[in-house]
Structure 1
Amino acid sequence: MKTNKAIFLDRDGTINIDKEYLYKIEDFEFEPKADEALKILYDLGYILIVVTNQSGVARGYYKENDVETLHINLSKLLEKKGIIISKYYYCPHHPSKGIGKYKSDCACRKPNPGMLLKGIEEFDIDPSLSYMVGDKKSDVEAGLNAGVKSVFLGKEKDIKIDNYSNNISIFNSLYDFAISLKNKS
């Protein structure tokens, strides 16, 4: 029986300010209070897993190694604050804008659930105890497709989803979501 709980996190627009095709640590800026939110979630016992579409790789703007280097540096920043990201999954593909091997309609690109399903398997995660948090419709749909609760960061009018369900919550920020979970525990 799976007993671990996780927070799957989109990166750009959720953890950090969304700057188009971010891959350099010097361009990285946390969303307001996002680091505090990650600490709250980590302290609540959630496994933190980042799942991010990185079509900049597919388009040839930067390399997979650049994404991995950014994630290593982000982990170092967070570890100084007592926060561990257990895994970073990223999708380097794009179905129409990709170049060469990266032009692919894959199972990992959100809204497909591939990255979340890998995390669920690798970390023995109970989807019913877990969340997907992001600022785009594709994040919410990936969570629903993987069987976890989805959290949309933004305004309700900004998410247009057909099968809106009780498995979707809306918050203004990652911090607001973290405080809500903390208050429930």
Structure 2
Amino acid sequence: MEKNKCIFLDRDGTINVYKGLISRPEDLELEKNAAEAIKMINESEYLCIVVSNQPVVAKNLCSLEELWRINDRLRKLLEEKGAYLDDIFVCPHHPDKGYPGENTEFKIRCNCRKPDIGMIEMARQKYNIDLSKSYIIGDSTIDIQTGINCNMKTILVKTGLGGSDKIYRVCPDYIANNLYEAVNLILGDKPKWNY
């Protein structure tokens, strides 16, 4: 059976405007042309799957149910513009314990929090994905390190953090101004520059 190809997307700062930790659906706002970019993926041979660290749950800023309501709003905003996500995987955990008001159930070390590859692995198995023919697009060095850990091509977008987190010393395969440009790099002519 032929394997699928996927464009994995980070959520905050890549698809929606970066506002720190989003804990209410009404705070989610799409990046300019993000829906158009996802629609292009939908019309291509690639799956479009979100993989997102969401420590808002571990930090007790919202419940797991509220987190899925935020993701439902993301789906709704995209659907209004004719785009859709094939799936959304989230990591609600955070490894650092000992903060007032934290949700201790989710304050654990896990293998799903990027740059660990748990979410990608779940998606790979569920959708029979060939990671060597797949991409990850994100706004942080964590996203780029995740792609490197999975042997995928990586694209850093300049929206959101734009790589300013500098948590990992990594070099993406490509850099794009935004998600729309990143998707065009993949689906249009072969990328014309390398970093």
TM-score by length of 2: 0.85
Pair 1:110 & 2:114 matched = yes
Counterpart residue number, 1:178: 183
Contact 1:2 1:125 in 2 (8 A): no
What SS class does the counterpart of residue 108 from structure 2 fall into? coil
Distance in 2 (alpha carbons) for counterparts of 1:114 and 1:12: 19
Distance in 1 (alpha carbons) for counterparts of 2:2 and 2:116: 22
Pair 1:65 & 2:70 matched = no
Change (3 A) 1:68 1:171: same
Deviation sequence 1:116-167 (CA, Å, 0-9, x none): 1111111001112111110001111111112211111129884755454xx6
Distance in 1 (alpha carbons) for counterparts of 2:147 and 2:124: 11
Counterpart residue number, 1:149: 153
RMSD: 2.1
Q: Which moved more, 1:150-159 or 1:77-86?
A: 150-159
Q: Percent identity?
A: 37
Contact 2:3 2:130 in 1 (8 A): yes
Counterpart residue number, 2:85: 85
TM-score by length of 1: 0.89
Distance in 2 (alpha carbons) for counterparts of 1:2 and 1:120: 13
Q: Which moved more, 1:72-81 or 1:61-70?
A: 72-81
Counterpart residue number, 1:137: 141
Q: Which moved more, 1:104-113 or 1:149-158?
A: 149-158
Distance in 2 (alpha carbons) for counterparts of 1:25 and 1:45: 30
Deviation sequence 1:28-71 (CA, Å, 0-9, x none): 11112111111112212211111111111101110110111121
Number of matched residues?
A: 183
User: Structure 1 runs of 4+ off > 4 angstroms?
Assistant: 155-161
Distance in 1 (alpha carbons) for counterparts of 2:13 and 2:77: 18
Q: Which of the pair is proportionally richer in helix? A: 1
Distance in 1 (alpha carbons) for counterparts of 2:108 and 2:88: 20
Change (3 A) 1:3 1:104: same
Structure 1's unaligned 5+ residue stretches are: none
